[in-house]
Amino acid sequence: MTPPATDGFAPAKVNLSLHVTGQRADGYHLLDSLVMFADVGDRVTVAPAPVMSLRVTGPRAAGVPEDARNLCWKAAEPFGLPVAITLDKHLPAAAGIGGGSSDAAAVLRAMEALTGRPSPMPVARLGADVPVCLLGRAARMRGIGADIQPLEIAPLHAVLVNPGVAVSTPEVFRALARKDNPAMTDLPWNADLTAWLAAQRNDLEPPARALQPVIGTVLEALGACAGVRLVRMSGSGATCFGLFESRAVADSAAQDLRRGNPDWWVRACTLS
């Protein structure tokens, strides 16, 4: 009997902090990052089919590859079961919120459910962000990305903003001046997480801003929102986020930001 299609959510990944603490001989960087996942994201549907195929739909489909270059395809192919994949794209690409990595993780989950076995290929080979996206919940991520410690963190309310410029992750790493920055301090047990975050950094923010100065404009606009508690860039950019005390305050900030900047991608969300 043919197994049924499976449907999965691929949430945006947000790096609340991102410290670059070293560089390996192969060029990959050592990271120390607090990662959480949003309730906004893409959707993937995976169904057994006579041949492999991929269709990308949705408001952010433009420019996303529909062939073996797509991480969804790369995640499914090693299982050896041909599938028809539909990717409903809502997240901007090359945006520092792990869109492709989270899509790949959703396809991996679907393929594991369809075949009853884990990925025959090490998942980190798909990308440094794929292991944490496969976990899909709050974690401290170290090493080049595969060393993951799940964390119990109360949900946070945020607004994500992308100004519509694509940023190349390798280019940002190349532009980083210092590769041996201090690691994060230990997470607080019960103190205010936002206060702790304010003392952490995203080391990729200065090089990303140098490449795309509009990131500075986004950070300023988020910083001017009523009730904002912390403002920072995610991943290698250009998406930035602000943290707010409640979802209602985040919703209202998102509305104001959208009104003032109709070309920006603006989403209120809850991170967990």
Ligand X SMILES: C[C@](O)(CO)[C@H](O)COP(=O)(O)OP(=O)(O)OC[C@H]1O[C@@H](n2ccc(N)nc2=O)[C@H](O)[C@@H]1O
Q: Report the Cα 143 to chain-centroid distance in Å.
A: 17
Evaluate the omega torsion of the peptide bond into residue 146 and state whether it is cis, within 30 degrees of 0.
no
| Of 23, 53, 115, 169, the one binding ligand ATP by CB under 6 A | 169
173 binds, among ligand X, ligand ATP, none (CB under 5 to 8 A by kind): ligand X
**Which position among 8, 92, 99, 127 is part of the footprint of ligand X (CB under 6 A)?**
127
Q: By CB under 6 A, is residue 65 in contact with ligand ATP?
A: yes
Query: CA–CA separation, 132 vs 146, rounded Å?
Result: 7
Alpha-carbon distance 79 to 81, whole Å? 6
Q: What is the DSSP string of 69-134?
A: TSHHHHHHGGG---EEEEEE--SPSSSSS-HHHHHHHHHHHHHHHHHSS--SS-GGGG-TTHHHHH
Q: Does 54 bind ligand ATP (CB under 6 A)?
A: no
Report yes or no: 157 and 246 within 8 Å, Cβ to Cβ. yes
271/2 Cα distance (integer angstroms): 36
Which span sits near ligand ATP by CB under 6 A: 89-97, 138-146, 176-184, 201-209? Answer: 89-97
Three-state DSSP class for residue 240: strand
Partner whose footprint covers residue 65, from ligand ATP, ligand X, none (CB < 5 to 8 Å by kind): ligand ATP
Which residue is catalytic, options 88, 129, 203, 263? 129
Question: How many CB atoms sit inside 10 A of residue 93's CB?
Answer: 17
Cα distance between residue 223 and residue 185, in whole Å: 24
Distance CA 267, CA 253 (A): 10
Cβ at position 95, least distance to ligand ATP in Å: 5
State in angstroms the smallest separation of the CB of 195 from ligand ATP: 26
For the bound state, the minimum distance from the C-beta of residue 185 to ligand X, rounded and expressed in Å, comes to 19
- The angle at the Cα of 63, spanning 60 to 69, to the nearest 5 degrees, equals 115
Q: Which does 134 bind (CB under 5 to 8 A by kind): ligand X, ligand ATP, none?
A: none
Does residue 162 interact with ligand ATP by CB under 6 A? no
13 is catalytic: yes
Does residue 106 have a known ligand-binding role?
Answer: no
Nearest approach, Cβ of residue 16 and ligand ATP (Å): 13
Residue 158 interacts with which of ligand ATP, ligand X, none, CB < 5 to 8 Å by class: none
| Annotation says 67 is catalytic | no
Residue 159 DSSP class: E
The single residue among 8, 11, 41, 98 that binds ligand ATP, judged by CB under 6 A, is 98
* Closer to ligand ATP by Cβ: residue 101 or 212: 101
Report the interface residues with ligand ATP, using CB under 6 A.
64-65, 69-72, 87, 93-101, 103, 129, 169, 235-236
Catalytic residues: 13, 129
